[in-house]
Amino acid sequence: MTSPTQSDVPLIELDLPLERDVFLRSMLRELSGSLQDIVGLDEASGFISLVGQRIGDQLNEDYRTALGVSKLTRNQVAEVLVDLKRRINGGFSIEEVNDDHIVLTNTHCPFAEKVAGRPALCMMTSNVFGSITADNLGYARVDLQETIADGAPGCRVVIHLKLTQDKVAAGREYFRG
């Protein structure tokens, strides 16, 4: 009698790195990469920004409803940003919160290894953070100072809470109120 070959093993028993989370992260990686290659990083970031803003608006409403408030405080905003990333397997934590800014650090991207070389995906973070912060506090300028997508060991995100006249200030601005 011969021993079974790999082709005799039922497909369900094959050791494949395929499940919904990996598939969706891979799909987003390839989509953002295709956009970056075809229209460039700035335009790809713009498209992804639109998605991030819509997701940010929905998450903002979900958290405010769950907390029973019409607006989040500065500390609640910081906590919500960390919590939402935690829920999607990010490793964000609060470094500092004051009148001028919120500083968050991250040790693990929700996109995991799929974010490498795909900085356009960071626009999801920028827009989710920016839209939630601006909608509750009136203004946000999100500065992605370090990102895993660009090869840093972690992320450092500074969310400025006050509008400045500095025309060369780093980051994307978000307005609401």
Q: What per-residue confidence (pLDDT) applies to 3?
A: 58
C-beta separation of 141 from 171 below 8 A: yes
> How far is the C-alpha of 35 from the C-alpha of 42, rounded, in Å?
10
Q: What is this structure's pTM?
A: 0.85
Query: How many angstroms from the chain centroid is the CA of residue 71?
Result: 22
What's the fold here for domain 19-175? Muramoyl-pentapeptide Carboxypeptidase; domain 2 (3.30.1380)
pLDDT of residue 177: 59
CA–CA distance, 177 with 167 (Å, rounded to integer) = 22
- How much is the pLDDT for 44? 85
Question: pLDDT in tens for each of the 177 residues of the chain?
Answer: 555 566 788 988 888 888 888 898 899 889 988 998 999 988 988 888 888 889 999 999 999 999 999 999 999 999 999 999 999 999 999 999 999 999 999 999 999 999 999 998 899 999 999 999 999 999 999 999 999 999 999 999 999 999 988 777 899 999 985
What residues contact 99, with CB distance under 8 A and at least 6 apart?
Answer: 74, 161, 162
**Strand 101-106, strand 155-160: pairing:** antiparallel
- Each domain of the chain, given as residue ranges in start order, spans 19-175
Q: Spell out the residues 6+ positions from residue 12 whose beta carbon is closer than 8 angstroms to its own.
A: none
